[in-house]
Amino acid sequence: MPSKRLAGLGASVFTEMDNLKRDLEKAGTHLINLSIGSPDRAPAEEIRRVLSQAVLDGTQYGYTLTRGPGNFRKVCAGWYQERFGVSLDPETEVLPLMGSQDGLAHIFLAYIDPGDLALIPDPGYPIYSAGLLLAGGVKVAVPLLEKNGFLPDLRKIDPDTARKAKLMFLNYPNNPTAAVAPLSFFEEVVEFAKAYDVLICHDAAYSELAFDGYRPVSFLQARGAKEVGIEFHSVSKTYNLAGARLGFVVGNADVIGNLSQLKSNIDYGAFGPVLTAGAFALSFAQDTIDENRSAYQRRRDLWIEGCASAGWKMSIPQGSMFIWAPVPTNQDSVAFATDLAREAGVIVVPGVAFGDHGEGYVRVALVQDEGVMQEAVRRIQQFLIR
């Protein structure tokens, strides 16, 4: 018999939508999948060239240390200094990851004992709840409400609960709501963390996917942030290297050290050629970030304008690769997403899959090229104007 924790991982809404997708495909329905937040664009040619050259190096096939090569950590620190004006010690405050989700899941095992509380955003990226469950922790859902700009209202968190909590997760630009956070909010978070002795874990996977000239800030730019927290970054999302699995975490040296110790007992470091390509991307491939932003912004505008013409209006996101759209019919999010899949062949994720406070919305991933997005919009228009 499998463990009880495995049963707890059964994300019923995701499973339900996956089963529906398979059934429709078997029936011959041509689907447009806007559900999974996986970049569809290839890495820049120059990054692929560096990766391919490294792969041909016969010395690159041994184990790599969990801490990774010093050059990669130095490059991460240099990128942080240039991008955010934040100084980091590459020896103690930077740790490579096999994709940021690697670190997001493992931080719970490093800090949560069975029964410990963690403050988790609702709606939120599923790994926050899954990682906590695997560690035996107890989830305290922190509502992200539209009236608050999908930022948690720190004043509404019960003080007794806050004192018992060991971790608090944040994520801006946000998945699934696409909300962004100002530096003033992160400054409030630092004060909250100091008052209640809570470790802050900020997921900044989408910091480089922002639009209309907006530049997301880093949690570590807030004064005192390194004293209370860490921040996760995704090289995979920034440079379209999702399958190559590369990210890094920065911040508090003690926390980085504890996470590194845990990971050294579970796995080794990322594949050497991937680290080489990642270091190159962070150092020299900034043009590809601008190209990414432009591509996603065009898709965003095409979708929002096309849906608005059919009466489906939604907020225009400043960041991430997602649109968080209110359900435009008198249905719950699962029923609407199911009908949209069956009748229009467009797959989106019901908001309730991300937590109870996600009900009433669906998440749309901008992960198809403009031609496919245009066809998805045409289908939406036909579906809604019936």
pLDDT of residue 1: 81
Q: Are 375 and 386 within 8 A, CB to CB?
A: no
- The arithmetic mean of pLDDT across residues 246-262, rounded, is 98
Q: Are 139 and 131 within 8 A, CB to CB?
A: no
pLDDT in tens, 179-207: 999 999 999 999 999 999 999 999 999 99
Mean pLDDT of the chain: 95
Q: How far apart are CA 239 and CA 288, in angstroms?
A: 7
pLDDT in tens, 139-184: 999 999 999 999 999 999 999 999 999 999 999 999 999 999 999 9
pLDDT of residue 10: 61
pLDDT of residue 8 exceeding 80: no
Q: How far is CA 78 from the centre of its chain?
A: 23
Measured CA angle at 15 (ends 13, 19), to 5 deg: 120
Domains of the chain: 4-43+287-384 (3.90.1150.10), 59-285 (3.40.640.10)
Q: How far is CA 234 from CA 78, 168, 251, 287, 346, in A?
A: 16, 19, 15, 17, 27
**9 pLDDT tier (thresholds 50, 70, 90):** confident
- The arithmetic mean of pLDDT across residues 324-332, rounded, is 97
- The arithmetic mean of pLDDT across residues 249-259, rounded, is 98
- The arithmetic mean of pLDDT across residues 370-383, rounded, is 97
pLDDT of residue 285: 78
Q: By C-alpha distance, which of 222, 242, 296, 305 is closest to 100? A: 242
Q: How far apart are CA 316 and CA 277, in angstroms?
A: 33
pLDDT of residue 36 exceeding 90: no
Q: How far apart are CA 27 and CA 44, in angstroms?
A: 37
pLDDT of residue 343 exceeding 90: yes
pLDDT of residue 366 exceeding 90: yes
Determine the 3-state secondary structure of 362 from DSSP.
strand
pLDDT of residue 11 exceeding 70: no
- The arithmetic mean of pLDDT across residues 260-277, rounded, is 95
H/E segment holding residue 170: strand 165-171
- The arithmetic mean of pLDDT across residues 334-340, rounded, is 97
pLDDT in tens, 66-110: 999 889 999 999 999 999 999 999 999 999 999 999 999 999 999
Least confident of 32-46, 83-97, 140-154, 317-331: 32-46
pLDDT of residue 5: 82
Q: Positive or negative CA dihedral for 251, 256, 259, 263?
A: positive
- The arithmetic mean of pLDDT across residues 305-323, rounded, is 97
Q: How far apart are CA 97 and CA 91, in angstroms?
A: 15
Q: Which two tokens stand for residue 195?
A: 């008052």
pLDDT of residue 6: 80
Q: Are 251 and 93 within 8 A, CB to CB?
A: yes
